[in-house]
């Protein structure tokens, strides 16, 4: 056995073995289960870092199996262990979290962690490691500037996904780097995926009042709508980030959501929170260009989306109602931003349409899950036997939406806006076709995404929209 294999290896947890900070994750798991626990967190923070970690760790726990382990580093650790090397897990995380990780991996010969009295970071970590190893030389694997205090006293440095300036600091202190596992670069495309920029297509609903009032060429109103689109998109992306932080444990167990940058550890929780602050600041400044009622509605929308993430989406049918209201909020925001009054006809038509689409989303989820009759959809209140009821609701509400259009055609308001309002009857056929087709595809589990996002990529949708636009122009 060579000399390196005989040298004990000490491994850090947060940011090194796993591409996340377990304390941050525990904090948000705690807040999701107990939003008022924020006051407890503040009180615990005054008791010291070690006590704070112990208190949070005692309240909630992490699923060690689903944590985003650094695959290349973990593979190397397994090879080192197979060669007979002594490996010690030394982390500033709470002992309960560290022990759970060690029990899952079955890789470590010992665990050093914060115990409620001592926070095992920096000099304190080195003292605990030196005592455990009998002051013999060791190699240390870490990733952050705080690890510099341990690296300076260790034999060699093993650097895993180093933070900014870590490599320069190691060179400055003449610390030999035995092995370097570089971090995966976080490009703009990664942030665009995490911010779900593709979801901004839903915010085009903000322009609906311009279309329905025939003011699409009103430049001042169009500018306000464009500004509103940007503001709403920034706020929506910030809520997506918060939602993903709160849903991290569930997302990591999901077949596709586990690949999201936050869930995979490519983006850190503190980094995400910093971007949330920047997005909301930019949105607040841009909102100064718009009427204040629009900003008020946006605040309500943001609060509602957080409530949805925490508990509303777990309630039977409440999630469908909430999703329909979120779509409707975009329409109403467009009216407030442009100061265009939205008619009761437009509001009713859109509200029933959005309810049908929200139901289609759940229909699609149930159809894809392929559950037995009494089985429930994961993290939802729906069972397989609810599928027929949801299909009926989706079909009936879409039919009501078409009925609202028919009543509008014969209304005084329709006659004022259109010279030939009876031409609008022709809209009913493509509209009924589109709703029916969407529900049929949902019932098969063939909607690849949110129904509105599906529509944005669907060729048939564009044909239907072109037909309806031509009919509207002919009626004008």
Q: Using one digit for the tens of pLDDT, what is the confidence trace for 436-449?
A: 999 999 999 888 76
Q: Report residue 382 CA to chain centroid gap.
A: 22
Average pLDDT for residues 124-139, to the nearest whole number? 91
Token pair recorded at residue 20: 């996340």
* CATH fold of 3-181: Rossmann fold (3.40.50)
The domain 184-311: what is its CATH number? 1.10.357
Q: Identify the pLDDT of residue 412.
A: 83
* pLDDT tens track for 45-66: 999 999 999 999 999 999 999 9
* pLDDT tops 90 at residue 463: yes
3-state secondary structure of 167: helix
The bridge status of strand 110-114 relative to strand 156-160 is: unpaired
- Per-residue confidence band for 375, with pLDDT thresholds at 50, 70 and 90: low
Question: What distance in Å separates the CA atoms of residue 317 and residue 321, rounded to the nearest whole number?
Answer: 6
Average pLDDT for residues 181-199, to the nearest whole number? 89
* pLDDT tops 90 at residue 78: yes
Token pair recorded at residue 170: 């190691």
Whole-number percent of the chain with pLDDT over 90: 64
Contact between 225 and 337 under an 8 Å Cβ cutoff? The reply is yes
Using a 10 angstrom Cβ sphere, with 0-12 exposed, 13-18 middle and 19 or more buried, the burial of residue 420 is: exposed
Angle at 268 between CA 169 and CA 278, to 5 degrees: 100
**Number of alpha helices (DSSP H) and beta strands (DSSP E) in the chain:** 23, 6
Token pair recorded at residue 56: 């949070």
CA torsion sign for 436, 437, 439, 444 is positive
Average pLDDT for residues 415-431, to the nearest whole number? 88
- Extents of the domains making up the chain: 3-181, 184-311, 343-476
Strand partners of residue 69: 18
Question: What distance in Å separates the CA atoms of residue 385 and residue 382, rounded to the nearest whole number?
Answer: 8
* pLDDT tops 60 at residue 5: no
Can you spell out the DSSP letters for 18-38?
BSS-HHHHHHHHHHHH-GGGH
Element (H, E) at 37: none
* Coarse DSSP helix, strand, coil percentages of the chain, rounded to the nearest 5 percent: 65, 5, 25
Q: Identify the pLDDT of residue 373.
A: 61
Q: Identify the pLDDT of residue 314.
A: 83
């Amino acid at each position: 056995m060579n000399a390196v294999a005989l040298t004990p290896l000490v491994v850090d947890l947060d940011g090194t073995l796993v591409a996340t900070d377990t304390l941050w994750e525990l904090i948000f798991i705690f807040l999701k289960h107990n939003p008022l626990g924020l006051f407890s967190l503040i009180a615990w923070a005054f008791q010291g870092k070690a006590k704070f970690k112990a208190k949070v760790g005692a309240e909630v726990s992490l699923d060690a199996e689903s944590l985003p382990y650094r695959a290349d580093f973990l593979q190397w650790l397994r090879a080192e262990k197979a060669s007979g090397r002594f490996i010690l897990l030394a982390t500033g995380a709470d002992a309960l979290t560290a022990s759970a990780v060690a029990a899952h991996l079955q890789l470590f010969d010992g665990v050093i962690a914060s115990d409620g009295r001592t926070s095992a970071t920096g000099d304190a970590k080195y003292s605990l490691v030196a005592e455990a190893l009998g002051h013999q030389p060791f190699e240390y694997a870490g990733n952050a500037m705080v690890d510099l205090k341990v690296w300076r006293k260790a034999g060699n440095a093993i650097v895993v996904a180093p933070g900014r300036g870590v490599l320069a600091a190691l060179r400055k202190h003449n610390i030999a780097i035995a092995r370097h596992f570089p971090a995966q670069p976080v490009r703009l495309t990664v942030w665009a995926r995490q911010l779900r920029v593709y979801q901004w297509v839903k915010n085009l609903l903000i322009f609906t009042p311009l279309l329905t009032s025939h003011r699409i060429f009103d430049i001042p109103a169009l500018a306000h709508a464009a500004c509103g689109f940007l503001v709403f998109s920034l706020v929506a992306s910030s809520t997506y980030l918060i939602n993903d932080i709160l849903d991290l444990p569930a997302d990591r167990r999901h077949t596709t959501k586990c690949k999201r940058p936050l869930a995979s550890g490519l983006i850190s929780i503190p980094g995400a929170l910093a971007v949330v602050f920047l997005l909301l600041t930019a949105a607040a400044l841009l909102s100064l260009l718009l009427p204040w009622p629009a900003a008020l509605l946006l605040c309500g929308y943001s609060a509602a989306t957080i409530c949805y993430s925490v508990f509303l989406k777990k309630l039977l049918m409440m999630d469908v109602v909430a999703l329909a209201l979120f779509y409707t909020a975009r329409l109403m925001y467009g009216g407030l931003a442009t100061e265009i009054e939205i008619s009761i006809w437009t509001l009713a038509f859109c509200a029933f349409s959005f309810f049908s689409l929200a139901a289609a989303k759940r229909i699609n989820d149930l159809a894809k899950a392929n559950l037995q009759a009494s089985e429930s959809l994961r993290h939802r209140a729906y069972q397989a036997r609810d599928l027929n009821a949801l299909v009926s609701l989706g079909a009936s509400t879409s039919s009501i939406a078409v009925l609202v259009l028919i009543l509008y055609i014969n209304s005084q308001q329709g006659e004022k806006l259109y010279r030939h309002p009876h031409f609008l009857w022709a809209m009913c056929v493509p509209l009924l076709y589109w709703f029916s087709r969407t529900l049929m595809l949902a019932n098969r589990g063939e909607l690849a995404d949110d129904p509105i996002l599906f529509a944005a990529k669907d060729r048939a949708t564009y044909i239907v929209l072109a037909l309806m636009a031509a009919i509207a122009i002919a009626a004008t």
